[in-house]
Structure 1
Amino acid sequence: MTRLHLPRTVLDRILSLVTEHDDPATETGGIIVGHDHGRTIDVTGVGEPGPNAVHEPWRFTRDLQYAGKVAADAWRRDRSQWIGEWHTHPRGHPAPSDLDLRTYASLLRNPSLRLDRFVAVVVTTAPKTIIAAWIVTSTTVGRLPIRILSSNE
């Protein structure tokens, strides 16, 4: 079974971005960068939404230009690649929605991205904060166990 390795510092950054978001009634998010080793997926960082992101109650659209810059910077830093996205569901279940799944399917079909699978981290914020990870392929969607790494791991 594949497992997501999420450093505590990266988790804290996601939660900080959720808290800083101007309108808690709308979704926010950003890309996830890291290394997919097959049985483990190591997250090395996350992006902010970007200045041109669209935040709506039931949908988040990333700022593609900003996301590209985050991915390019990660590649130069440690050869991390864009492996997925994190986003909030302010009033929903911590699982990808039908719209999310359609978006991920189109990303998986995009030959320039060369993605075999996509990591989706969904954060609910009401009534309490819950974080869940999912692995999406062209044929399956499944929960992805998260291992929170301390700073010395």
Structure 2
Amino acid sequence: MSEVVRLLKSYRQMQYVSTEAGGVLIGERRGPHIVITHISEPGPGDIRTRNRFERKGDHHQLKVDELFEQSNGFLVYLGEWHTHPEDFPQPSYTDMKSWLTGLIATETMLLIIVGRKSEWVGIKNGNDIKSIREK
């Protein structure tokens, strides 16, 4: 299991008191392929409740900037990830609204929601958001 997958799964909300977690996805664009090599993790400044995560901490952007510089521009921001306290997650209205208004990019953005038993993986192209994984 890759380190990225291990980290994402470590934030699953398995207990009733678990709060949502989230961060950014960082990696490479290789032609039509997107390769996630790193993620940022929740930290100081982020807002975390049972049903809400807001990425507010400066550490997320600092990690993107640091990896971009260390890789001579190969590692870039690819999208967002967060958890949901459900077995088979689906984007909420709040998720969709946040992605449509907050993720303005010319490149395809990757979106991941980590649930207790599975993950929802999607892409955003312009104003179109769709799942890229069959159930």
TM range (shorter): 0.7 to 0.9
Answer yes or no: is the 8 Å Cα contact 1:108–1:137 preserved in 2: no
The CA distance in 2 between the partners of 1:59 and 1:138, in whole Å, is: 24
**Shift of residue 140, structure 1, vs aligned partner:** 1.5
Q: Deviations over 1:43-81 (max 9, x none)?
A: 010011121110122221013411111111221232311
Answer yes or no: is the 8 Å Cα contact 1:108–1:115 preserved in 2: no
Pairing partner for 1:97 from 92, 95, 105: 92
Q: Deviations over 1:79-134 (max 9, x none)?
A: 3111111110113642222111111112333xxxx443321111112xxx212211
Give 3-state SS (helix, strand or coil) of 2:103's partner: helix
Answer yes or no: is the 8 Å Cα contact 1:83–1:115 preserved in 2: no
Q: Does 1:124 align with 2:118?
A: no
Give 3-state SS (helix, strand or coil) of 1:33's partner: strand
Q: Does 1:84 align with 2:79?
A: yes
Answer yes or no: is the 8 Å Cα contact 2:14–2:85 preserved in 1: no
Aligned residues: 131
Answer yes or no: is the 8 Å Cα contact 1:104–1:118 preserved in 2: no
Shift in alpha-carbon separation, 1:64–1:37, aligned structure 2, 3 A: farther
Match of 1:10 in 2: 4
Match of 1:31 in 2: 24
Amino acid at match of 1:135: I
The CA distance in 1 between the partners of 2:118 and 2:14, in whole Å, is: 17
Answer yes or no: is the 8 Å Cα contact 2:85–2:115 preserved in 1: yes
The CA distance in 2 between the partners of 1:115 and 1:20, in whole Å, is: 36
**Shift of residue 15, structure 1, vs aligned partner:** 1.5
Instruction: List gaps (5 residues or longer) in structure 1.
Output: 1-6, 146-153
The CA distance in 1 between the partners of 2:101 and 2:87, in whole Å, is: 23
Shift in alpha-carbon separation, 1:19–1:60, aligned structure 2, 3 A: closer
The CA distance in 1 between the partners of 2:90 and 2:14, in whole Å, is: 22
Give 3-state SS (helix, strand or coil) of 2:119's partner: strand
Percent sequence identity is 24
The CA distance in 1 between the partners of 2:14 and 2:77, in whole Å, is: 23
Answer yes or no: is the 8 Å Cα contact 2:47–2:53 preserved in 1: yes
**Shift of residue 144, structure 1, vs aligned partner:** 2.4
